[in-house]
Chains A and B, each alone.
Chain A
Amino acid sequence: MKRIVGFALALAILYVFVFARPLPAELVPKPVWAQDLAHPLKLASARSPARVGFRMGDVFGYVAPDGLVTFLDTVQAGVTMSDERYSNYSSVSGNLVVKDSAGRVVFNVDSGGYPVMEAGRLFVVSSDRTSLGELDRRGASLWRRDFGSIITSIDASASRLAVGLLDGRLMVIARGGRRLFVYAPRGEDPKVVYGVALSPDNAYLAAVAGLHPQRLYLLRERGEAYAPVRSVELPSASRSQVFLHLFEGIPYAFAESPDGLRYAGFGGGAAGLIPSGGAPIEDVAAATSRRLIEATGEDPAGRGAALRIIEPPGQVVATLPLPGSALFLRSLGERVYFGSERELARLDLVER
């Protein structure tokens, strides 16, 4: 059995890394390890206290940088996690249980909502999605705010929270719950915000709003508020949440769409599309080298999932085929963790 698992792992690693095309720039992807989660894993205690939280389909857990999986569990209705803590919640709201990366209970509080961990912070969204609050590390309420409208999307930095609402407003909330900024684009039809993003350094704010047409709005920080920079009409409109991405030091907003990853720059210039050939985008992350890593699923033509390395704003410089649908993507510096089917792997972007 061990031989079969080892052989499968070796094949998976070969598949990913032999078919990889090197980056034309100085960076090359270097395989580090791969773990097959489909087979019973012996959980290990790693030397390093560092952990990376991952979710792959209906399982989630923590892996050490050296590839040792230290915790693994099954997702209930949903799980939200940071690298230190997680909350594996049921579909019926009530008690909120937060555990550490080893599965030990940190606190258990009656929240009346659902947990969301973003940027190292813990938020609670009310069951009816019209109210949101923040808890501290011990589970005590820091603040709570009613929005009077359905929350369609949120994004947080360490000090701010952006909230998109069904009534067409985009709001930025300070760490203590104070409303810093509210924006409602004029002339939107209908007045709905479909997605929001806030850059980790708070410098950039973006939203997708309206349907006729749907537009991507770019705003730049000005004091505690934000000033609209430009808006870009999107050629296709989504009636569901749009996943938007902003990264520190990259002056572009990226919006996931059925035809690929759309981008527009805060400094002007043409907006563009990185076509995905119809493959669904699973997630987008950024490495410290200011390259983007995009994970896509299988496209309609049956071409498999892939990791793509992107030179912002829109140049694909490498494509790494994956043996199955991409389920998880995370970058930490130049370390890229990804999951595909039941395989969890790490590659590093290193200078040639």
Chain B
Amino acid sequence: MRLSWLFGGMALLRAAAFGGEHCAALGWPVDNPSLTATFGESRSGRFLDGIDIAGGAQPVKPIEGGEIIFVSEDSADPRGLPSGLGSFVVLGHRDGLRSLYAHLERGSIVRGKTSLATGDALGSVGDSGDTVGDHLGLCVIDGATGEFLNPLTILPRLGTTATPVINAVSIERDKKLTALSSASSVAPGMVGLVVDASEQSPFVDFADPMAPYTITASLDGDPVLSLRYGSLGLRGGTEVLDPPSGRPYDATYLGAGGVRLGTLQLKPGESELDVTASDVDGNQATARFILTVGASP
């Protein structure tokens, strides 16, 4: 557990290193950005490795000046690899940071340029690839580690005030979920903690629930479990959230029922369980549960 916190802290430091150095210089790729999907949310049985930004046809600008290092035009050559990213561009920035802009309008990718300055248009927001409407997919990659970083940790803060929503908190025992109410009686022993929390968005009615930035749990005031949507990387050929201590998708998401935060040891007596979901802007929601841990539920 302590190791998990340590590695989580390292990921935070790394993001802070990029953020600290770049944040002032980095910019959003579109005007008036509005999020429709967040980093690490469940998408077709996988973690989403970037964010989706709503928007009709408008120019897409680099988050920072950089060199165009890869371009893929949707359906330009029938021999090319099919891609849900549609038409996309990858830029290489200083310090090895890379940014990827997906679902661009077909034929809109800038031609005749090999590098772009902040403010230059690299293409237009479109609906190419695996989409159901115009939007921009943005990924940020740490070139040194190869990890996908949560773009929200290094882009200027959006300054939103909406708090995340904790829809349900359940305990998992023998693969059975039991939803907790504000006062619940539970049996002692090891249980899994499952949290269904999401960011508020006018788009969630028709899109996948947006993941918050962190979910934490504390028992009687002591932090015991946490999940941070900070970065995605590889461990043994499998993608994991917050490597190297992170976990694969199948061990994290529980269908539509939320995420497995980890396991808790419940001891007989009365305990306070606090579950907190936070976004990158610091907005947070906390749900408190008074658990009466008895000999039998």
CB of A116 within 8 A of CB of B82, answer yes
Residue from B130, B131, B233 within 8 A of A148 (CB atoms): B233
CB of B143 within 8 A of CB of A191, answer yes
Residue from A113, A114, A239 within 8 A of B68 (CB atoms): A239
Tell me the A92-134 residues at the B interface (CB within 8 Å): 92-94, 112-116, 125-131
Given known A-B contacts A89-B82, A127-B84, A179 and B237 have beta carbons under 8 A apart? yes
**Bound state CA distance, A119 and B131, in angstroms?**
30
Residue from B75, B130, B233, B238 within 8 A of A127 (CB atoms): B130
CB of A150 within 8 A of CB of B239, answer no
Asked if B85 lies at the interface with its beta carbon under 8 angstroms from chain A, I say yes
Besides A112-B45, A129-B81, 6 other A-B contacts (C-beta < 8 A):
A91-B130, A92-B131, A126-B46, A127-B44, A127-B85, A128-B43
**Measuring CB to CB, which residues of chain B are less than 8 angstroms from any residue of chain A?**
43-46, 48-49, 67-73, 75-86, 90, 92, 98, 100, 114, 128-132, 141, 143, 146-147, 232-234, 237-239
CB-CB < 8 A to B114: which residues of A? 239
CB-CB < 8 A to A221: which residues of B? none
Interface of B is mostly: loop
Asked if A325 lies at the interface with its beta carbon under 8 angstroms from chain B, I say no
Given known A-B contacts A93-B130, A211-B69, A131 and B46 have beta carbons under 8 A apart? yes
Those 6 A-B pairs whose CB atoms lie nearest each other, nearest first: A127-B84, A148-B234, A114-B82, A146-B239, A112-B44, A127-B130
CB-CB < 8 A to A179: which residues of B? 237
CB-CB < 8 A to A130: which residues of B? 49, 239
CB-CB < 8 A to A116: which residues of B? 81-82
Residue from A128, A153, A239 within 8 A of B69 (CB atoms): A239
Per-position binary interface string of chain A over residues 30-63, scored 1 when its CB falls under 8 Å from any chain B CB and 0 otherwise: 0000000000000000000000000100000000
Given known A-B contacts A128-B46, A146-B234, A241-B72, A92 and B81 have beta carbons under 8 A apart? no
Interface centre among A127, A128, A145, A150 (most CB of B within 10 A): A128
CB-CB < 8 A to B128: which residues of A? 91
CB of B130 within 8 A of CB of A190, answer no
Given known A-B contacts A92-B132, A112-B44, A125-B82, A146 and B69 have beta carbons under 8 A apart? no
20 A–B contacts, CB within 8 A, in A order: A91-B128, A91-B130, A91-B131, A92-B130, A112-B44, A114-B82, A127-B83, A128-B84, A129-B83, A129-B85, A145-B237, A146-B239, A148-B147, A151-B81, A152-B70, A154-B81, A166-B70, A194-B70, A239-B70, A240-B72
